[in-house]
Protein backbone atom coordinates (compact mmCIF):
# COMPACT_ATOMS: atom_id res chain seq x y z
CA UNK A 1 0.00 0.00 0.00
CA UNK A 2 1.28 3.44 -0.93
CA UNK A 3 1.45 6.21 1.64
CA UNK A 4 1.88 9.99 1.45
CA UNK A 5 4.07 11.98 3.84
CA UNK A 6 3.72 15.77 4.04
CA UNK A 7 7.23 17.14 3.50
CA UNK A 8 9.12 20.40 3.49
CA UNK A 9 11.52 19.09 0.84
CA UNK A 10 11.82 16.64 -2.02
CA UNK A 11 14.01 13.97 -0.40
CA UNK A 12 13.60 11.36 2.32
CA UNK A 13 15.91 13.40 4.53
CA UNK A 14 13.71 16.46 4.35
CA UNK A 15 11.79 17.51 7.43
CA UNK A 16 8.19 16.32 7.65
CA UNK A 17 5.90 19.32 7.08
CA UNK A 18 3.62 19.62 10.11
CA UNK A 19 0.91 21.23 8.00
CA UNK A 20 -1.11 18.90 5.80
CA UNK A 21 -3.08 21.30 3.59
CA UNK A 22 -0.26 23.76 3.09
CA UNK A 23 2.62 21.28 3.07
CA UNK A 24 5.39 22.19 0.61
CA UNK A 25 4.96 18.79 -1.09
CA UNK A 26 4.10 15.17 -0.50
CA UNK A 27 6.48 12.23 -0.69
CA UNK A 28 4.47 9.30 -2.04
CA UNK A 29 5.90 5.83 -1.77
CA UNK A 30 5.39 2.18 -1.01
CA UNK A 31 7.18 1.61 2.31
CA UNK A 32 8.57 -1.69 1.04
CA UNK A 33 10.33 -0.09 -1.93
CA UNK A 34 13.11 2.46 -2.29
CA UNK A 35 11.57 4.55 -5.07
CA UNK A 36 9.38 7.55 -4.25
CA UNK A 37 7.44 10.26 -6.05
CA UNK A 38 7.37 13.92 -5.13
CA UNK A 39 3.92 15.47 -5.50
CA UNK A 40 3.92 19.25 -5.57
CA UNK A 41 1.44 21.19 -3.44
CA UNK A 42 2.49 24.69 -4.52
CA UNK A 43 -0.96 25.69 -5.70
CA UNK A 44 -2.46 24.97 -2.29
CA UNK A 45 0.33 26.78 -0.50
CA UNK A 46 -1.13 29.96 -1.95
CA UNK A 47 -4.83 29.05 -1.89
CA UNK A 48 -7.01 31.56 -0.07
CA UNK A 49 -9.11 28.81 1.43
CA UNK A 50 -9.78 25.09 1.15
CA UNK A 51 -6.09 24.09 0.91
CA UNK A 52 -6.71 20.99 3.03
CA UNK A 53 -9.58 19.88 0.79
CA UNK A 54 -7.46 20.13 -2.34
CA UNK A 55 -4.43 18.53 -0.70
CA UNK A 56 -6.65 15.62 0.34
CA UNK A 57 -7.91 15.30 -3.24
CA UNK A 58 -4.33 15.42 -4.52
CA UNK A 59 -3.10 12.56 -2.35
CA UNK A 60 -6.29 10.58 -2.96
CA UNK A 61 -5.58 10.91 -6.68
CA UNK A 62 -2.21 9.19 -6.08
CA UNK A 63 -4.00 6.13 -4.73
CA UNK A 64 -2.50 6.22 -1.27
CA UNK A 65 -3.97 4.28 1.64
CA UNK A 66 -2.50 6.39 4.45
CA UNK A 67 -1.26 9.89 5.13
CA UNK A 68 1.50 10.74 7.62
CA UNK A 69 1.45 14.37 8.75
CA UNK A 70 1.63 16.71 11.71
CA UNK A 71 -1.75 18.40 11.77
CA UNK A 72 -4.93 17.75 9.84
CA UNK A 73 -8.05 19.92 10.05
CA UNK A 74 -11.69 18.85 9.89
CA UNK A 75 -12.34 19.45 6.17
CA UNK A 76 -9.18 17.70 4.97
CA UNK A 77 -9.93 14.86 7.37
CA UNK A 78 -13.48 14.52 6.05
CA UNK A 79 -12.24 14.27 2.45
CA UNK A 80 -9.49 11.78 3.32
CA UNK A 81 -11.95 9.69 5.32
CA UNK A 82 -14.42 9.71 2.42
CA UNK A 83 -11.60 8.53 0.14
CA UNK A 84 -10.89 5.67 2.56
CA UNK A 85 -7.43 6.99 3.48
CA UNK A 86 -6.26 6.49 7.03
CA UNK A 87 -4.83 9.63 8.60
CA UNK A 88 -1.91 9.57 11.00
CA UNK A 89 -1.30 12.89 12.74
CA UNK A 90 1.24 14.14 15.26
CA UNK A 91 4.19 12.77 13.27
CA UNK A 92 7.45 14.77 13.25
CA UNK A 93 11.14 14.46 12.37
CA UNK A 94 12.45 13.62 8.92
CA UNK A 95 10.39 11.84 6.28
CA UNK A 96 12.77 8.87 6.63
CA UNK A 97 12.23 8.72 10.42
CA UNK A 98 8.45 8.90 9.91
CA UNK A 99 8.67 5.99 7.47
CA UNK A 100 10.69 3.90 9.92
CA UNK A 101 8.14 4.54 12.65
CA UNK A 102 5.37 3.59 10.26
CA UNK A 103 7.08 0.38 9.18
CA UNK A 104 7.76 -0.55 12.81
CA UNK A 105 4.07 -0.18 13.57
CA UNK A 106 4.67 2.69 16.00
CA UNK A 107 2.06 4.97 14.43
CA UNK A 108 -1.69 4.70 14.90
CA UNK A 109 -4.41 6.32 12.77
CA UNK A 110 -6.00 9.41 14.24
CA UNK A 111 -9.65 9.11 15.20
CA UNK A 112 -10.39 12.52 13.72
CA UNK A 113 -8.92 15.90 12.92
CA UNK A 114 -6.37 17.10 15.49
CA UNK A 115 -6.66 20.84 14.83
CA UNK A 116 -9.52 23.25 14.14
CA UNK A 117 -10.27 24.61 10.71
CA UNK A 118 -8.98 28.04 9.79
CA UNK A 119 -12.26 29.25 8.41
CA UNK A 120 -14.78 28.41 11.11
CA UNK B 1 -28.50 59.27 -4.37
CA UNK B 2 -26.52 56.96 -2.14
CA UNK B 3 -23.79 58.38 0.09
CA UNK B 4 -21.51 55.84 1.73
CA UNK B 5 -19.43 56.56 4.82
CA UNK B 6 -16.17 54.61 5.01
CA UNK B 7 -12.87 54.99 6.81
CA UNK B 8 -10.11 52.48 6.39
CA UNK B 9 -9.27 52.68 10.09
CA UNK B 10 -11.94 51.59 12.54
CA UNK B 11 -13.18 53.82 15.33
CA UNK B 12 -12.66 57.09 13.46
CA UNK B 13 -16.29 58.23 13.55
CA UNK B 14 -18.14 56.61 10.64
CA UNK B 15 -21.26 56.03 12.68
CA UNK B 16 -21.11 59.50 14.26
CA UNK B 17 -21.05 61.00 10.76
CA UNK B 18 -23.49 58.58 9.10
CA UNK B 19 -26.21 58.97 11.75
CA UNK B 20 -25.99 62.76 11.94
CA UNK B 21 -25.81 63.10 8.16
CA UNK B 22 -28.89 60.90 7.67
CA UNK B 23 -30.81 62.89 10.33
CA UNK B 24 -29.95 66.11 8.47
CA UNK B 25 -31.56 64.96 5.20
CA UNK B 26 -35.31 65.11 4.64
CA UNK B 27 -36.79 61.62 4.45
CA UNK B 28 -33.62 59.63 4.04
CA UNK B 29 -32.72 56.05 4.78
CA UNK B 30 -29.80 54.91 6.87
CA UNK B 31 -28.42 51.49 5.93
CA UNK B 32 -25.92 50.15 8.46
CA UNK B 33 -23.84 47.70 6.42
CA UNK B 34 -21.36 46.88 9.20
CA UNK B 35 -23.03 43.50 9.63
CA UNK B 36 -20.35 42.14 11.94
CA UNK B 37 -20.88 44.93 14.47
CA UNK B 38 -23.85 47.15 13.58
CA UNK B 39 -24.16 50.09 15.97
CA UNK B 40 -26.06 52.90 14.21
CA UNK B 41 -29.28 51.70 15.86
CA UNK B 42 -27.81 52.53 19.27
CA UNK B 43 -27.96 56.20 18.27
CA UNK B 44 -31.16 56.21 16.21
CA UNK B 45 -33.17 53.80 18.39
CA UNK B 46 -35.53 52.75 15.62
CA UNK B 47 -38.74 50.84 16.24
CA UNK B 48 -37.97 47.56 14.53
CA UNK B 49 -40.17 45.29 12.49
CA UNK B 50 -39.68 41.52 12.96
CA UNK B 51 -36.35 40.05 11.74
CA UNK B 52 -36.07 38.79 8.21
CA UNK B 53 -33.86 35.70 7.84
CA UNK B 54 -31.42 35.99 4.96
CA UNK B 55 -30.04 32.97 3.14
CA UNK B 56 -27.70 32.44 0.23
CA UNK B 57 -27.69 29.76 -2.43
CA UNK B 58 -25.25 26.90 -1.98
CA UNK B 59 -24.92 23.77 -4.12
CA UNK B 60 -26.85 20.65 -3.24
CA UNK B 61 -25.83 17.68 -5.33
CA UNK B 62 -28.40 15.25 -6.68
CA UNK B 63 -26.25 12.13 -6.57
CA UNK B 64 -28.59 10.21 -8.87
CA UNK B 65 -27.93 12.65 -11.70
CA UNK B 66 -24.23 13.26 -10.92
CA UNK B 67 -21.77 11.61 -13.30
CA UNK B 68 -18.71 12.52 -11.16
CA UNK B 69 -17.20 14.41 -14.10
CA UNK B 70 -15.62 16.96 -11.74
CA UNK B 71 -16.56 20.08 -13.74
CA UNK B 72 -18.11 21.64 -10.62
CA UNK B 73 -14.92 21.22 -8.61
CA UNK B 74 -12.79 22.47 -11.51
CA UNK B 75 -14.65 25.78 -11.74
CA UNK B 76 -14.83 26.43 -7.97
CA UNK B 77 -11.96 28.70 -6.93
CA UNK B 78 -13.09 28.48 -3.32
CA UNK B 79 -12.71 24.69 -2.99
CA UNK B 80 -16.29 24.49 -1.76
CA UNK B 81 -17.13 21.42 -3.86
CA UNK B 82 -14.94 18.42 -4.54
CA UNK B 83 -15.38 15.03 -6.19
CA UNK B 84 -13.81 12.29 -4.13
CA UNK B 85 -14.02 8.51 -4.47
CA UNK B 86 -17.54 7.95 -5.83
CA UNK B 87 -19.21 10.99 -4.30
CA UNK B 88 -19.28 14.78 -4.39
CA UNK B 89 -18.59 16.59 -1.14
CA UNK B 90 -19.68 20.17 -0.57
CA UNK B 91 -18.43 22.63 2.03
CA UNK B 92 -21.26 25.19 2.22
CA UNK B 93 -19.33 27.45 4.61
CA UNK B 94 -16.68 28.00 1.92
CA UNK B 95 -19.21 28.74 -0.84
CA UNK B 96 -19.50 32.32 -2.10
CA UNK B 97 -22.78 31.55 -3.87
CA UNK B 98 -21.58 32.42 -7.38
CA UNK B 99 -23.56 29.62 -9.02
CA UNK B 100 -20.56 28.56 -11.14
CA UNK B 101 -20.88 24.88 -10.25
CA UNK B 102 -24.53 24.87 -11.25
CA UNK B 103 -23.73 26.51 -14.58
CA UNK B 104 -20.80 24.16 -15.25
CA UNK B 105 -22.62 20.90 -14.43
CA UNK B 106 -23.49 19.13 -17.72
CA UNK B 107 -25.85 16.71 -15.96
CA UNK B 108 -28.05 19.24 -14.17
CA UNK B 109 -27.17 17.53 -10.92
CA UNK B 110 -26.59 20.66 -8.86
CA UNK B 111 -29.68 21.94 -7.13
CA UNK B 112 -30.12 25.01 -4.98
CA UNK B 113 -29.56 24.50 -1.29
CA UNK B 114 -29.74 27.34 1.21
CA UNK B 115 -27.48 28.49 3.99
CA UNK B 116 -28.59 31.08 6.53
CA UNK B 117 -26.13 33.96 6.65
CA UNK B 118 -27.86 36.40 8.95
CA UNK B 119 -30.85 38.63 9.51
CA UNK B 120 -32.05 42.00 8.25
CA UNK B 121 -34.11 44.38 10.35
CA UNK B 122 -36.13 47.34 9.14
CA UNK B 123 -37.22 50.19 11.37
CA UNK B 124 -38.39 53.79 11.58
CA UNK B 125 -37.04 56.60 13.71
CA UNK B 126 -37.50 60.39 13.60
CA UNK B 127 -38.79 60.32 10.02
CA UNK B 128 -35.85 58.17 8.97
CA UNK B 129 -36.11 54.75 7.35
CA UNK B 130 -33.60 52.44 8.91
CA UNK B 131 -32.21 49.08 7.82
CA UNK B 132 -29.33 47.00 9.10
CA UNK B 133 -28.12 43.43 9.04
CA UNK B 134 -26.57 41.09 11.55
CA UNK B 135 -24.36 38.30 10.33
CA UNK B 136 -25.00 34.85 11.81
CA UNK B 137 -22.42 34.12 14.50
CA UNK B 138 -19.81 31.84 12.95
CA UNK B 139 -20.61 32.96 9.40
CA UNK B 140 -17.54 34.26 7.58
CA UNK B 141 -19.08 35.80 4.48
CA UNK B 142 -20.44 39.29 4.96
CA UNK B 143 -20.74 40.55 1.33
CA UNK B 144 -23.85 38.53 0.37
CA UNK B 145 -25.68 39.89 3.44
CA UNK B 146 -24.48 43.44 2.71
CA UNK B 147 -25.74 43.14 -0.88
CA UNK B 148 -29.11 42.05 0.51
CA UNK B 149 -29.26 45.13 2.76
CA UNK B 150 -28.40 47.33 -0.22
CA UNK B 151 -31.16 45.74 -2.29
CA UNK B 152 -33.60 47.18 0.28
CA UNK B 153 -32.63 50.74 -0.71
CA UNK B 154 -35.07 52.22 -3.24
CA UNK B 155 -33.27 53.65 -6.26
CA UNK B 156 -35.09 56.99 -6.01
CA UNK B 157 -34.50 57.68 -2.32
CA UNK B 158 -31.57 59.33 -0.58
CA UNK B 159 -29.66 56.84 1.49
CA UNK B 160 -26.64 56.95 3.75
CA UNK B 161 -24.63 53.75 4.11
CA UNK B 162 -22.59 53.19 7.26
CA UNK B 163 -19.82 50.95 5.88
CA UNK B 164 -17.70 48.46 7.81
CA UNK B 165 -14.11 49.49 8.63
CA UNK B 166 -11.15 48.37 6.54
CA UNK B 167 -10.75 48.01 2.79
CA UNK B 168 -11.60 44.35 2.24
CA UNK B 169 -14.56 42.63 0.54
CA UNK B 170 -17.28 43.78 3.00
CA UNK B 171 -16.26 47.42 2.45
CA UNK B 172 -16.29 46.97 -1.31
CA UNK B 173 -19.77 45.43 -1.09
CA UNK B 174 -20.95 48.40 0.99
CA UNK B 175 -19.54 51.27 -1.10
CA UNK B 176 -19.45 49.90 -4.67
CA UNK B 177 -21.67 51.88 -7.08
CA UNK B 178 -22.60 54.49 -4.48
CA UNK B 179 -22.65 58.09 -5.70
CA UNK B 180 -20.24 59.49 -3.14
CA UNK B 181 -17.96 58.23 -0.38
CA UNK B 182 -17.37 60.24 2.76
CA UNK B 183 -14.02 59.14 4.18
CA UNK B 184 -13.74 59.67 7.92
CA UNK B 185 -10.33 59.61 9.53
CA UNK B 186 -8.33 60.98 12.42
CA UNK B 187 -5.11 63.02 12.11
CA UNK B 188 -2.77 60.30 13.40
CA UNK B 189 -0.21 58.10 11.62
CA UNK B 190 -2.68 55.19 11.88
CA UNK B 191 -5.51 57.28 10.50
CA UNK B 192 -3.32 58.47 7.61
CA UNK B 193 -2.01 55.00 6.77
CA UNK B 194 -5.49 53.52 6.56
CA UNK B 195 -6.90 56.58 4.82
CA UNK B 196 -4.39 56.04 2.01
CA UNK B 197 -5.62 52.45 1.61
CA UNK B 198 -9.23 53.68 1.55
CA UNK B 199 -8.42 56.38 -1.02
CA UNK B 200 -6.75 53.81 -3.29
CA UNK B 201 -9.82 51.59 -2.96
CA UNK B 202 -12.20 54.41 -3.81
CA UNK B 203 -10.05 55.36 -6.82
CA UNK B 204 -10.28 51.83 -8.23
CA UNK B 205 -14.05 51.90 -7.74
CA UNK B 206 -14.16 55.34 -9.41
CA UNK B 207 -16.37 56.93 -6.75
CA UNK B 208 -16.03 60.64 -5.96
CA UNK B 209 -15.02 61.20 -2.36
CA UNK B 210 -14.52 63.82 0.32
CA UNK B 211 -12.83 63.79 3.69
CA UNK B 212 -13.96 64.40 7.25
CA UNK B 213 -11.25 64.71 9.89
CA UNK B 214 -12.55 63.68 13.28
CA UNK B 215 -10.77 64.63 16.52
CA UNK B 216 -9.17 67.20 14.23
CA UNK B 217 -7.22 69.00 16.94
CA UNK B 218 -5.12 66.01 18.00
CA UNK B 219 -2.18 64.46 16.11
CA UNK B 220 -0.51 66.29 13.25
CA UNK B 221 -1.25 67.98 9.93
CA UNK B 222 -0.22 65.13 7.66
CA UNK B 223 -3.75 63.93 6.88
CA UNK B 224 -4.79 67.41 5.69
CA UNK B 225 -1.57 67.69 3.64
CA UNK B 226 -2.20 64.29 2.05
CA UNK B 227 -5.81 65.21 1.22
CA UNK B 228 -4.68 68.47 -0.39
CA UNK B 229 -2.03 66.67 -2.46
CA UNK B 230 -4.61 64.09 -3.57
CA UNK B 231 -7.16 66.84 -4.27
CA UNK B 232 -9.71 65.27 -1.92
CA UNK B 233 -12.06 67.99 -0.65
CA UNK B 234 -12.01 68.49 3.12
CA UNK B 235 -15.72 68.51 3.97
CA UNK B 236 -15.71 68.89 7.73
CA UNK B 237 -13.52 68.87 10.82
CA UNK B 238 -14.91 67.62 14.13
CA UNK B 239 -12.85 68.62 17.16
CA UNK B 240 -11.80 66.34 19.98
CA UNK B 241 -14.43 67.62 22.33
CA UNK B 242 -15.46 66.17 25.68
CA UNK B 243 -19.12 67.16 25.24
CA UNK B 244 -19.35 65.39 21.88
CA UNK B 245 -17.76 62.32 23.46
CA UNK B 246 -20.20 62.42 26.36
CA UNK B 247 -23.18 62.71 24.00
CA UNK B 248 -21.77 59.76 22.04
CA UNK B 249 -21.46 57.68 25.20
CA UNK B 250 -25.13 58.39 25.96
CA UNK B 251 -26.06 57.28 22.43
CA UNK B 252 -27.07 60.76 21.26
CA UNK B 253 -26.42 61.74 17.64
CA UNK B 254 -24.29 64.88 17.37
CA UNK B 255 -27.02 66.81 15.54
CA UNK B 256 -29.55 66.05 18.26
CA UNK B 257 -27.26 66.92 21.16
CA UNK B 258 -25.89 70.12 19.57
CA UNK B 259 -28.23 72.17 17.32
CA UNK B 260 -25.28 74.09 15.82
CA UNK B 261 -24.01 70.81 14.40
CA UNK B 262 -27.31 70.22 12.59
CA UNK B 263 -26.58 73.26 10.41
CA UNK B 264 -23.08 71.97 9.74
CA UNK B 265 -24.39 68.55 8.71
CA UNK B 266 -27.07 70.14 6.51
CA UNK B 267 -24.27 72.10 4.82
CA UNK B 268 -22.28 68.87 4.52
CA UNK B 269 -25.18 67.27 2.68
CA UNK B 270 -25.55 70.32 0.41
CA UNK B 271 -21.80 70.25 -0.33
CA UNK B 272 -21.96 66.57 -1.21
CA UNK B 273 -24.94 67.20 -3.51
CA UNK B 274 -22.96 69.94 -5.26
CA UNK B 275 -19.89 67.73 -5.63
CA UNK B 276 -21.98 64.90 -7.07
CA UNK B 277 -23.84 67.28 -9.43
CA UNK B 278 -20.55 68.95 -10.43
CA UNK B 279 -18.98 65.59 -11.21
CA UNK B 280 -21.87 64.64 -13.48
CA UNK B 281 -22.03 67.90 -15.44
CATH 3.40.50.300 segments of chain B:
2-53+135-280
Domain enclosing residue A33, as ranges: 3-103
Element at B180 (helix H, strand E): strand B180-185
Contact A50 B79 (CB under 8 A): yes
Q: Which of B82, B83, B93 sits opposite A120 (nearest CB)?
A: B93
Interface residue ranges in chain A relative to chain B, Cβ cutoff 8 Å: 47-51, 53-54, 56-57, 60, 75, 78-79, 82-84, 119-120
Q: Is B197 within 8 Å of B187 (Cβ atoms)?
A: no
> Is 3.90.320.10 the CATH classification of the domain at B63-108?
no
Which DSSP state fits B183?
A: E
CA distance A97 to chain B (A): 30
Contact A120 B89 (CB under 8 A): no
- Secondary structure of B119-136 in HEC code, one letter for each residue: EEEEEEECCEEEEEEEEC
CA–CA dist B177, B156 (Å, integer): 14
Considering its fold, how many domains does chain A have in total? 1
pLDDT along chain B (281 residues), means of 10: 96 96 95 97 96 95 94 93 92 91 96 95 94 95 95 94 96 97 97 97 97 96 96 97 96 96 97 91 58
Q: Are strands A36-40 and A66-68 parallel, antiparallel or unpaired?
A: unpaired
Residue at A83 is within a domain: yes
Residue at A118 is within a domain: no
User: Within chain A, which residues score under 50 in pLDDT?
Assistant: 120
Contact A57 B84 (CB under 8 A): yes
Residue at A54 is within a domain: yes
Residue at A36 is within a domain: yes
The pLDDT tens digits for B6-53 are 999 999 999 999 999 999 999 999 999 999 999 999 999 999 999 999
Inter-CA distances, B1 with B44, B158, B179, B224, B274, Å: 21, 5, 6, 27, 12
Q: Are strands A25-29 and A3-7 parallel, antiparallel or unpaired?
A: antiparallel
Contact B79 A51 (CB under 8 A): yes
Inter-CA distances, B154 with A15, B144, B161, B277, Å: 59, 18, 13, 20
Residue at A55 is within a domain: yes
Name every chain B residue with its beta carbon within 8 A of the beta carbon of A53. 79, 82, 89, 91, 94
The pLDDT tens digits for B237-251 are 999 999 999 999 999
Residue at A17 is within a domain: yes
* Full-model pTM: 0.82
> Is 3.40.50.300 the CATH classification of the domain at B2-53+135-280?
yes
The pLDDT, as a whole number, for residue B281 is 58
Name every chain A residue with its beta carbon within 8 A of the beta carbon of B81. none
Angle at B148 between CA B144 and CA B149, to 5 degrees: 120
CA–CA dist B278, B230 (Å, integer): 18
Contact A79 B138 (CB under 8 A): no
The pLDDT, as a whole number, for residue A120 is 44
Residue at A35 is within a domain: yes
Q: Which residues contact B14 (CB under 8 A, 6 or more apart)?
A: B5, B6, B7, B34, B162, B163, B165, B184
State the CATH number of the domain containing residue A71: 3.30.420.130
Q: Which of B80, B89, B93 sits opposite A79 (nearest CB)?
A: B89
Helix/strand/coil for B31: strand
CA distance B138 to chain A (A): 6
Question: If we measure between CA atoms, which residue out of B112, B133, B98 comes closest to residue B59?
Answer: B112
Q: Which of B85, B91, B139 sits opposite A75 (nearest CB)?
A: B91
Contact A83 B85 (CB under 8 A): yes
CA distance B84 to chain A (A): 6
A80 to chain B: nearest residue by CA?
A: B84
The pLDDT, as a whole number, for residue A118 is 65
| Beta-carbon-side half-sphere exposure of residue B95 (alpha carbons within 13 Å) | 26
Q: Which of A49, A53, A82 sits opposite B85 (nearest CB)?
A: A82
The pLDDT, as a whole number, for residue B4 is 98
Phi and psi torsions of B83, nearest 5° = -95, 130
Q: Which of A50, A51, A83 sits opposite B80 (nearest CB)?
A: A50
Q: Which of B82, B93, B140 sits opposite A79 (nearest CB)?
A: B82
Contact B140 A48 (CB under 8 A): no
Name every chain B residue with its beta carbon within 8 A of the beta carbon of A83. 84-85
Amino acid sequence: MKIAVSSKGKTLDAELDARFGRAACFIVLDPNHQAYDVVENTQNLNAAQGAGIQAAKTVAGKGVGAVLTGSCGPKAYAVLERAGISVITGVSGSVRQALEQYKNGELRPAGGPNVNGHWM
Amino acid sequence: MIISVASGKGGTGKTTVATSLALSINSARLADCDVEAPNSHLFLRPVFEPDETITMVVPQVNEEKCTLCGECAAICRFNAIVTIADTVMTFPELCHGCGGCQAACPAGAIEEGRRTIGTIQHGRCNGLDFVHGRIRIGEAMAPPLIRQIRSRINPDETAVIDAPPGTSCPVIAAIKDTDFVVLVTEPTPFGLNDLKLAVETVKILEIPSGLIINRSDIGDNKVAEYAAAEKIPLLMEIPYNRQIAEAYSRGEPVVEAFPEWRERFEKLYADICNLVAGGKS
